[in-house]
C-alpha cells in the first residue's frame, strides 16, 4: 500500500475491488448537462464507499427524458469521470436501451392490479390538496387516452436505516399518495426505472444526494411489489450555492472544472467530513482517491440535508 500522503499513483484504483465481494455500488447521472460540483461529490462518495468496501462501482446513464438531454452530455459526463480518476467497472448501462424491461415491470404491476390510469391535470391535483387524492383509482371506465399510470400506495410506514442520515420513514399513503410510474407523455418515470435497474445490476449499496432521500420509500415499496431486493442507502448532503439553492442546471451551476481534479476531489473529501491533510491538496487525483478509500468513514459524513460549497483556496 502506498503511504497515505504520497503523491505517487500506484495501481489503478479500479483494481482494488475483489471480484468475489458482494458490494455493488453505482453512480447514476441524468445526462441533462455536464457534471457540476454537486454531482461530482455524489460520484466521489459512491465511488469511495464502493472501493473502501472492496466493491464494484458501476455507472448507469439515466437517459430517459430525451427532450432534457443535450446531445453529447452523456459522453461529456463519462469524460469528466475519467478525468477525475473515477474508473468504473464493466460497461455503462444506458436506460434508453432498457425500455422493454421497464414495460415488463409495468405489466407485472398492472397484472397484479396494483396500478390505475389517471388523466388528472397538474392544476386539478394541486387544487385537491397537498398530495394526489386518488380520484382516478376507482374510475370506471378508466381513461383510455392521455393518461399516466399511477401505483396504488398504502397507509403504512416504510422505514429504513440510512447509512448517513439514520432512521428515515415515510407513510406513502398519507405523505406521497399514489405516484406516477408511467408519465402522460409515455416516458417511464424515474421511480420505476431506477428500481428495475438497481435490481438488474445487482446493486447492494446506493450512495447519492439527500434530495433523493424522500424518493427512497417509493423505491423500497416498488421493490417489495416486484419481489426485488432492497439495497442499503446512504444520502449525503446536497451542495448548495450562496443563495441556498441546490447546485443544478436550473440554478446555473457551473460545469465542474475537471482540469483541476485535485482541487475538486480534495474539496469533496473535506465536505464529506473525511478531514484530508493539507498536503493531499497537491497530490494527483489517484493518490487522493486512494487516501480517501483507505481513510473512508461514512459515519463522518455530515448528517445534513444541505452543505454550502466552500470555494477552493
Ligand atoms: N439520475 C438521478 C439524478 O441524476 C439520480 C438517480 C439515483 O441516484 O437514484 O438525479
Residue 16 placed within a domain: yes
Predicted confidence at residue 214, as pLDDT, reads: 97
Ligand 1 pocket residue status of 29, Cβ below 6 Å:
yes
Residue 22 placed within a domain: yes
* Stretch (H or E) spanning 158: strand 157-162
Residue 231 placed within a domain: yes
> In sequence order, what are the residues at sequence separation of 6 or more whose Cβ sits closer than 8 angstroms to the Cβ of residue 169?
157, 158, 159, 160, 217
Residue 29 placed within a domain: yes
Ligand 1 pocket residue status of 28, Cβ below 6 Å:
yes
Q: How far apart are CA 25 and CA 232, in angstroms?
A: 10
Cα distances from 35 to residues 42, 48, 155, 249, in angstroms, run: 10, 18, 38, 9
Nearest ligand 1 atom to alpha carbon 29: 4
- Cell numbers for 205, please give them: 449499496
Question: Ligand 1 atom 7: the closest Cα is on which residue?
Answer: 28
Residue 90 placed within a domain: yes
Q: How far apart are CA 261 and CA 267, in angstroms?
A: 10
Range of 300's domain? 7-308
C-alpha R_g of the chain: 20
Cα distances from 184 to residues 150, 168, 181, 210, 263, in angstroms, run: 10, 30, 10, 27, 43
In this structure, are strands 56-61 and 93-94 parallel, antiparallel, or unpaired?
parallel
Ligand 1 pocket residue status of 32, Cβ below 6 Å:
no
Residue 115 placed within a domain: yes
Nearest ligand 1 atom to alpha carbon 215: 9
Q: What is the DSSP string of 73-88?
A: HHHHHHHHHHHTT-PP
d(CA 130, ligand 1 centre) in Å: 24
Ligand 1 pocket residue status of 49, Cβ below 6 Å:
no
Q: How many domains does the chain have?
A: 1
d(CA 248, ligand 1 centre) in Å: 12
Mean pLDDT taken over the chain: 91
d(CA 30, ligand 1 centre) in Å: 6
Ligand 1 pocket residue status of 30, Cβ below 6 Å:
yes
First to last CA, the chain: 30
Q: Tell me 64's DSSP state.
A: -
The residue to mutate among 194, 203, 213, having the most atoms of ligand 1 within 8 angstroms of its beta carbon, is: 194
Is residue 301 classed as helix, strand or coil in its secondary structure? coil
Pick the closest to residue 128 from 169, 178, 172 (CA basis).
178
Nearest ligand 1 atom to alpha carbon 32: 4
Q: What is the DSSP string of 229-283?
A: PPPEEEEEPEEE-TTSPBPSTTTTPPBP-GGGHHHHHHHHHHHTT----GGGGGS
Report CA torsion sign: 206, 40, 13, 283.
negative
Prediction pTM value = 0.91
Q: What is the pLDDT of residues 291-305, one digit of tens each?
A: 999 999 999 999 999
- Cell numbers for 70, please give them: 443535450
Ligand 1 pocket residue status of 212, Cβ below 6 Å:
yes
d(CA 278, ligand 1 centre) in Å: 32
Predicted confidence at residue 253, as pLDDT, reads: 85
Catalytic positions are 249
d(CA 29, ligand 1 centre) in Å: 5
Residues of the chain below pLDDT 70: 1-21, 310-313
Predicted confidence at residue 1, as pLDDT, reads: 33
Say how many residues make up the chain: 313
Residue 2 placed within a domain: no
Ligand 1 pocket residue status of 62, Cβ below 6 Å:
yes
d(CA 28, ligand 1 centre) in Å: 5
Q: At what angle do helices 261-271 and 37-52 cross, to 10 degrees?
A: 70
Nearest ligand 1 atom to alpha carbon 194: 9
Asked whether 57 and 47 are in contact (CB, 8 A), the reply is yes
Residue 313 placed within a domain: no
Pick the closest to residue 193 from 184, 203, 204, 182 (CA basis).
182
Q: How far apart are CA 226 and CA 223, in angstroms?
A: 5
CATH number, domain at 250? 3.40.50.620
Residue with grid cell 432512521, as numbered in its chain = 167
Question: Ligand 1 atom 6: the closest Cα is on which residue?
Answer: 28
Asked whether 60 and 89 are in contact (CB, 8 A), the reply is no
Amino acid at each position: 500500500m502506498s503511504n497515505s500522503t504520497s503523491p505517487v499513483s500506484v495501481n489503478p484504483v479500479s483494481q482494488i475491488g475483489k471480484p468475489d465481494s458482494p458490494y455493488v455500488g453505482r453512480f447514476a447521472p441524468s445526462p441533462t448537462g455536464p457534471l457540476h460540483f454537486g454531482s461530482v461529490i455524489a460520484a466521489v462518495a459512491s465511488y469511495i464507499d464502493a472501493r473502501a468496501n472492496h466493491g464494484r462501482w458501476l455507472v448507469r446513464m439515466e437517459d430517459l427524458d430525451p427532450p432534457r438531454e443535450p446531445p453529447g452530455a452523456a459522453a461529456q459526463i463519462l469524460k469528466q469521470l475519467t478525468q477525475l480518476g473515477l474508473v468504473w467497472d464493466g460497461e455503462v448501462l444506458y436506460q434508453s436501451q432498457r425500455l422493454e424491461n421497464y414495460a415488463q415491470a409495468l405489466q407485472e404491476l398492472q397484472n397484479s392490479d396494483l396500478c390505475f390510469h389517471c388523466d388528472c391535470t397538474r392544476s386539478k391535483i394541486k387544487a385537491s390538496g397537498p398530495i394526489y387524492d386518488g380520484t382516478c383509482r376507482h374510475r370506471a371506465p378508466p381513461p383510455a387516452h392521455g393518461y399516466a399510470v399511477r401505483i396504488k400506495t398504502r397507509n403504512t410506514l416504510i422505514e429504513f436505516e440510512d447509512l448517513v442520515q439514520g432512521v428515515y420513514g415515510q407513510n406513502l399513503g398519507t405523505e406521497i399518495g399514489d405516484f406516477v410510474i408511467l408519465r402522460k407523455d409515455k416516458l417511464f418515470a424515474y421511480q420505476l426505472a431506477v428500481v428495475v435497474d438497481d435490481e438488474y445490476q445487482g446493486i447492494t449499496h446506493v450512495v447519492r444526494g439527500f434530495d433523493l432521500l424522500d424518493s427512497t420509500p417509493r423505491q423500497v415499496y416498488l421493490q417489495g411489489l416486484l419481489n426485488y431486493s432492497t439495497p442499503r442507502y446512504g444520502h449525503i448532503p446536497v451542495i448548495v450555492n450562496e443563495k441556498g439553492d441546490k447546485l443544478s442546471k436550473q440554478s446555473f451551476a457551473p460545469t465542474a472544472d475537471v482540469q483541476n481534479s485535485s482541487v475538486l476531489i480534495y474539496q469533496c473529501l473535506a465536505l464529506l467530513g473525511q478531514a484530508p491533510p493539507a498536503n493531499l491538496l497537491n497530490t494527483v487525483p489517484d493518490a487522493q482517491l486512494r487516501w480517501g478509500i483507505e481513510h473512508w468513514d461514512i459515519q463522518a459524513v455530515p448528517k445534513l440535508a444541505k452543505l454550502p460549497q466552500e470555494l477552493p483556496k
